[in-house]
């Protein structure tokens, strides 16, 4: 693919799993299962294209307000995926470091423990990073940093950034959101300041390699001025 430039850091808001399940007369659980599998494909597309830092919003702080049965089912899917041998083999084959950014207050301890183990097992990989946001929200991220900095008399934007829940994630070059929703919903307010936004009409489980190529091609055509 001949492009002027590629995003070095790419973020994904994989929206539309529930609507996809309803459209295909499947359970919500199966919709999310397909979504998780699709993300593994997506991460491989990125690595093969030369994009080595990916952030996915796997579960927002607002998602906890969904029906309890659905929330617990989603947590169960993540647990299952994290212990799936085939999926883990693909992660190791692609030498992907899984970096978990989570809010322990809204996440089950068992899931946090399982994901933390994967984080440790993949810490040896430096070339490819997948930042997984769980129980994350932009407002909660800001509140988290403010709480940590209450005792400081003077602080800068740089110091504030160092205290975010998402401090390990660099500024994001491109954000892809699926399902036709054209908003960021509070996603990473600091790191997304100059992000290029791309909204796909496809529901996340229907998002294909061709759709990915179209998004990356669109990024390659844009001229980034950063306010200059």
Positions annotated as catalytic residues are 15, 63
SS3 104: coil
- Distance, first Cα to last Cα, the chain: 28
Q: What is the rounded distance in angstroms from the CA atom of residue 194 to the CA atom of residue 154?
A: 26
Distance (Å, whole) CA 47 – CA 41: 10
Which residue in 200, 193, 215, 183 sits closest to 60, CA to CA? 183
Packing angle, helices 28-49 and 85-93, rounded to 10: 20
């Amino acid at each position: 693919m001949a492009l002027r430039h590629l995003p070095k850091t790419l973020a994904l808001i994989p929206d539309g799993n529930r609507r996809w399940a309803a459209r295909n007369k499947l359970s919500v659980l199966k919709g999310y299962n397909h979504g998780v599998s699709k993300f593994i494909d997506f991460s491989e597309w990125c690595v093969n294209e030369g994009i080595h830092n990916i952030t996915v919003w796997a579960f927002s702080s607002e998602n906890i307000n969904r029906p309890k049965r659905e929330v617990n089912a989603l947590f169960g899917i993540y647990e299952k995926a994290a212990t799936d041998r085939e999926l883990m083999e693909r992660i190791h084959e692609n030498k992907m470091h899984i970096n978990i950014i989570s809010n322990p207050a809204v996440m089950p301890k068992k899931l946090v423990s399982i994901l933390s183990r994967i984080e440790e097992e993949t810490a040896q990989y430096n070339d490819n990073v997948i930042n997984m946001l769980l129980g994350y929200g932009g407002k909660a991220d800001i509140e988290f940093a403010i709480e940590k900095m209450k005792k400081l008399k003077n602080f800068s934007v740089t110091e504030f950034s160092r205290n975010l829940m998402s401090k390990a994630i660099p500024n994001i070059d491109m954000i892809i959101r699926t399902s036709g929703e054209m908003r960021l919903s509070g996603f990473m307010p600091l790191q997304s300041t100059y992000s290029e936004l791309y909204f796909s009409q496809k529901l996340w489980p229907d998002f294909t390699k061709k759709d990915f190529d179209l998004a990356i091609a669109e990024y390659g055509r844009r001229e980034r001025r950063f306010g200059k």
